[in-house]
Amino acid sequence: MILLLLAILFSLLLGRYPLSPGELIGALRGSGPADAGAPAAIRTALVRSVLLDSRLPRIAGAVLIGAALSVSGGAYQAVFRNPLVSPGLLGVLRGAGFGAALAIVLGWPPAAVQAAAFGGGIGAVGCGVAVARAFGENSIVMLVFGGLLSSALFTALLGILKYVADPDDQLPAITFWLLGSLAPVTPRELWWLAGPLVLGIAALAGTGRLLDALAMGDDEARTLGVPADVVRLGVIGLATAIAALTVSLAGMIGWVGLIVPHAARLLVGPGNTRLLPLSACLGGMFLLAADDLARSLFVAEIPIGIVTQLVGVAGFLLLLPRARRGWT
């Protein structure tokens, strides 16, 4: 937690308008720094505008989204007993992408695009679960099978929308939205979505004991008084909801829910009681660092989805020699 706070303070100083620690402290306290090049009042107003209107919402969004994706990825891995599972397994990312693309093609306003993305993600997972239920089974294999079918379906539907979209306006908007970005995050959006995200993260982090019981098998979990099917579907539903919220807020950001739980597992072991809270902290730090790179490496900002994929691949290759020992 201390490292996360230090990372937040460091990120507040970075950007196209760099700040000094003294300016940061003065702006947060409301006092003007001594600046010979500009009137203190104007300088303080400018610094506070940069912090409150742009940098703080973006940093808070990065921490919340990184924590949500990481804890949902850890929960998915625990439910499916597979370390290679990520929040996109049941089609939530593709469904959210389809929902957002549909709203863009129809010319809906930004708030409606976010709502459509959330609804599309929930609908895609519901479709995958419905396929598994159609065969009369609640097994993990059938859930994975339903997720694969749902992902393929919504990938095809997304492709159709990209084909019929206006190539001069709508298609670039869909493409950039799918790449992911924290630039559109505003204080108003955080006001509406921070509460559900924090509650979802806390609720998932509190299911550690139940997930540890599921890890021993459904029969063993039932002997301990844990309703395996109810817990599995409940955790999947909660993890899907917060993952869909992150997509509606910042677009599709991959690899966070896959690689961060691995790093947490190497630090504290496989016990979900400690793994999930640590995954949330590490996920916030990971996405915050990725966003710092996205807005600082070049003059033009890089979509954060590209940065997380590049950093995720490199990090996974570093973790792979140690992580694979627990797979066999």
pLDDT on residue 34: 47
Read off the pLDDT of residues 146-162 as tens digits, 9 standing for 90 and up: 999 999 999 999 999 99
Read off the pLDDT of residues 263-294 as tens digits, 9 standing for 90 and up: 999 899 889 999 999 999 999 999 999 999 99
Assigned token pair, 293? 């790179």
- Of these ranges, 30-44, 231-245, 291-305, the one predicted with the greatest mean pLDDT is 231-245
- Which stretch of DSSP H or E encloses residue 284? helix 272-296
Domains, the chain? 2-319 (1.10.3470.10)
Find, among 6, 37, 81, 92, the residue nearest to 292 by Cα. 6
Rounded-to-integer distance, Cα 215 and Cα 221, Å:
8
Read off the pLDDT of residues 37-90 as tens digits, 9 standing for 90 and up: 546 666 677 777 788 788 889 999 999 999 999 999 999 999 988 888 888 888
pTM, 2 dp: 0.90
Rounded-to-integer distance, Cα 249 and Cα 60, Å:
12
pLDDT on residue 315: 81
Burial of residue 135 (number of CB atoms within 10 Å: 0-12, 13-18, 19+): exposed
